[in-house]
Amino acid sequence: VPEGQGSVLRIIVDNLIYPVPLEVLYQLFSKFGIVLKIITFTKNYQFQILLQYAEPVNAYYAKMALDGQNVFTACCTLRIDFSRLSSLKVKYNNDKSRDFTRLDLPFGHGRPPMEPFIADTNFKALLHTNILTNLFNEVIILCNTSVSQKKQTCPCAVCSNSLNRFPFCISTGVYGDVYRVKIMFKNKENALVQMADAAQAQLAMSYLNGQRLYGRVLRTTLSKHLIVRLPRDGEEDHGLTKDYSNSPLHRFKKPGSNNFRNIFPPSATLHLSNIPPFVTVHDMKKLFASTGSTVKAFRFFQKDSKMALIQLDSVEEAIHALITLHDHDLGEDHHLRVSFSKSTI
């Protein structure tokens, strides 16, 4: 280790096509030692990270292994240098910063961490060009186990009782194109979801794990299966496997689509688009109230009345409303588009 080198790394992410959640950063860098603190921010239009290890040697090996690597396929390239800071001061534990030695910190104005994150102690060496593509496959597994059953060999615990219906995959589709879904025969609260690629699977897992849905906590982790197999001709499936590979609801079919730049964590505020001119504020509030949601606020965009923001009472209500109303026909072939918003009203 070079003399005088500290334990804090400064990381710049180039070619940021997909968001890189704090949980993903923790997974990548904890392979090389104990990560104490992470701070993320945007400066000069670049997404940057300050990350503090317990020991300088950890920072040294992480830089050697990860500098110049891509987090996702052909994008999100890590540029790593040693910081002049000797330590980091973290005020809040949320989606932008985390002090893993101080779980008592408030979450401030950011999104609170969904669950204390569990690192996978059996990760293979992260020395490949496309780290997550080599590390993870493209199938997410969602299933129903108690939090006490978390295993150290698995990056996340899993739990949900909401998966006995296929529309839940719409919530996964916010973060990528869902190709296939298979609900387990012996435990219909468990499901496999195949995404278009590994990056989308990782995003869906990072953002949806720990969220509440239908009164239960959704748990997601990555599956050993590379694909969800469709039933053979004549094979009895009981309607538990669905193929969405040609779905018109896919948001990310076009390379470079604006949808790639509008991926945000679940929030109580939803972004609505494709609203026809004859639909009023009252109509939209009534529509969302019909899902059981409590509408706290609603606002059309001043420059574009086809778009609006709606704030519901909770993140859980917003997820349920998105599942229920995305692609809802508002009349005259105007299908509502719903996604999570980074803004509030």
Best CATH choice for the domain 1-132 from the list 3.30.70.330, 1.50.10.10, 3.30.360.10, 3.40.190.10: 3.30.70.330
What's the Cα-to-Cα distance from 245 to each of 18, 193, 242, 248, rounded to whole Å? 21, 12, 9, 9
**What pLDDT is attached to residue 274?**
95
Q: 156 pLDDT band (50/70/90 cuts)? A: very low
Kindly report which listed range (62-71, 84-93, 189-198) carries the lowest average pLDDT score: 189-198
Please choose, from the candidates 30, 32, 52, 18, the residue with its C-alpha nearest in 3D space to the C-alpha of residue 204. Answer: 18
**What pLDDT is attached to residue 285?**
97
The count of residues in the chain is 345
Q: Does 310 score more than 90 pLDDT? A: yes
**Residue 183, number of CB atoms within 10 A of its CB:** 23
Domain range annotation of the chain: 1-132, 136-255, 267-340
**What pLDDT is attached to residue 3?**
66
Q: Quick one: average pLDDT of 31-36?
A: 87
Angle at 218 between CA 122 and CA 330, to 5 degrees: 135
**CA pair distance 317, 290, nearest whole angstrom:** 12
**CA pair distance 50, 6, nearest whole angstrom:** 12
Q: Does 212 score more than 60 pLDDT? A: yes
Summarize pLDDT for 133-151 with one digit per residue, the tens: 333 345 655 544 333 333 3
Is there a common fold for 1-132 and 267-340? Answer: yes
136-255 is a CATH 3.30.70.330 domain: yes
Q: Quick one: average pLDDT of 155-180?
A: 56
Axis-axis angle for helices 22-29, 198-208 (nearest 10): 110
Indicate yes or no: pTM above 0.85.
no
DSSP 111: P
> 3-state class of 268 per DSSP?
coil
> 3-state class of 148 per DSSP?
helix
**CA pair distance 209, 67, nearest whole angstrom:** 28
Summarize pLDDT for 64-79 with one digit per residue, the tens: 889 999 888 788 999 9
Q: Does 116 score more than 80 pLDDT? A: no
So what's the architecture of 267-340 in CATH? Answer: 2-Layer Sandwich (3.30)
